[in-house]
Amino acid sequence: MPNRILLLVACFAYALFGGAPRLAAMAQTQVVPAHALGTDDKAAFAIHFSGETRANLDTCGCPANPSGGLHRRVTMAQSFRSTFKETPLLELSVGSIFNDQGVLLSPPFKDVLVQNDFALRGYSAYPFDAVNLTYQDLRALQSYFKNDKAKRAAADFPILKAYLSANATPAANEKTHIALPRFVVKEVKSPRFPKGGKLRIGITGVCEQAPSEGTGYVWRDPATALKEVLPELKKQAEVIVVLAYLPLDQAKALAAELEGIDVMIVGHMQPSLLALENVGGAALVVNNYETKALGELRAYFADDGKRSYGSRFILLDASIPSEPNALKIVKEAKSAVEEARRSMVQAAP
């Protein structure tokens, strides 16, 4: 009996002390709900699309069901890649991920500057494969694109290297800012591709024309810009994706008019299309404003090489675990922005 008691005490002590780290590690294991992750449906490649977060790294703050957030988007991307190893994933943003409110004033709004600084940190720690330059992002980031700062800024903040635009060009009479890439080509690999296991995906983007004073750039007509870029992309890529920050009717008109667009992802503070639409030869989807729900587009190859697409939205609510390091940045950002706003109130006359 004494030996049995000693054995029980030893087992209890191990569970309480020696086993505690293991139990804690198990408790921290992140499990994405099956309905959110989806199934392996033999997709050839996938795109997670998001944007229009205006430098808010946290959830939307909605009282009933706070959704969104960098920490949950990162979890979804990591879980997808670890689960569906034969389906390469690209993360694309329609843009408007920085806050332009008062940034061109003198002095600019302190809380917005702090918010944008943390957005630079967060998006650089977890960057996109490509980001469409919108007028909001240009106003917030134009100083980083100046000729004498761009190289160092891109080294410090990798998210800046992800920006592209087919229709934002440096103002000819100023020549103070760099020319951003008009497109990028991403090569992905999968045994599900019909030829050689490789696929080149070309990505470009356009934004509606907007006032650009003080930014060092001008906005060209989106249709004209795409007509110039698409032929070049066709020579370099098998799949062409257009990120379009445009009113939906204008985006649909371009998709119907221009040949060669395979996928168009639209954002413009408008309700999401709950289902993918085929417009012209393009599969067209609309971003969920503020990315309370993450967009996911999957591509499929038939035996004859023809492609088809499907899409869905993944609600980034409390059922999606938070990536710990991303969550740390989110919390630091929230605290710093709140402090900046308190100091603004105290300094007010």
pLDDT beyond 80 at 198: yes
Q: How many domains does the chain have?
A: 2
Q: Does residue 17 sit in the same domain as residue 68?
A: no
Strand 130-132 versus strand 89-93 pairing type: parallel
- Contact (Cβ atoms closer than 8 angstroms) between residue 167 and residue 126: no
What's the whole-number mean pLDDT along residues 85-97?
Answer: 98
Please list, in sequence order, all residues whose beta carbon lies within 8 angstroms of the beta carbon of residue 132, skipping any fewer than 6 positions away.
Answer: 51, 93, 94, 95, 163, 164, 165, 205, 206, 207, 243, 244, 245, 267
In a domain, 337, yes or no: yes
Which of 73-87, 185-199, 258-272 has the largest mean confidence?
Answer: 73-87
Q: What average pLDDT is seen over the chain?
A: 92
What's the whole-number mean pLDDT along residues 112-134?
Answer: 98
d(CA 183, CA 165): 7
Give the global pTM.
Answer: 0.90
In this prediction, residue 147 carries a pLDDT of 97
What's the whole-number mean pLDDT along residues 186-195?
Answer: 92
Q: Does residue 144 sit in the same domain as residue 22?
A: no
pLDDT band at 272 (very low <50, low <70, confident <90, very high): low
- In CATH, what number is assigned to the domain containing residue 61? 3.60.21.10
Please list, in sequence order, all residues whose beta carbon lies within 8 angstroms of the beta carbon of residue 105, skipping any fewer than 6 positions away.
Answer: none
Q: Does residue 75 sit in the same domain as residue 209?
A: yes
pLDDT band at 208 (very low <50, low <70, confident <90, very high): very high
- Residue 167: CA count within 13 A, CB half-sphere: 25
In this prediction, residue 25 carries a pLDDT of 33
Report the b/e string of 221-232 with b at 16+ CB within 10 A. Answer: ebeebbeebbee
Place of tokens 């008062």: 102
What secondary structure letter does DSSP report for 222?
H
d(CA 59, CA 66): 6
Q: Does residue 110 sit in the same domain as residue 49?
A: yes
Q: Does residue 98 sit in the same domain as residue 191?
A: yes
What's the whole-number mean pLDDT along residues 268-274?
Answer: 75
Please give the residue range of the domain that contains residue 14.
Answer: 1-28
In a domain, 34, yes or no: no
pLDDT beyond 50 at 219: yes
d(CA 217, CA 145): 10
In a domain, 33, yes or no: no
In this prediction, residue 347 carries a pLDDT of 86
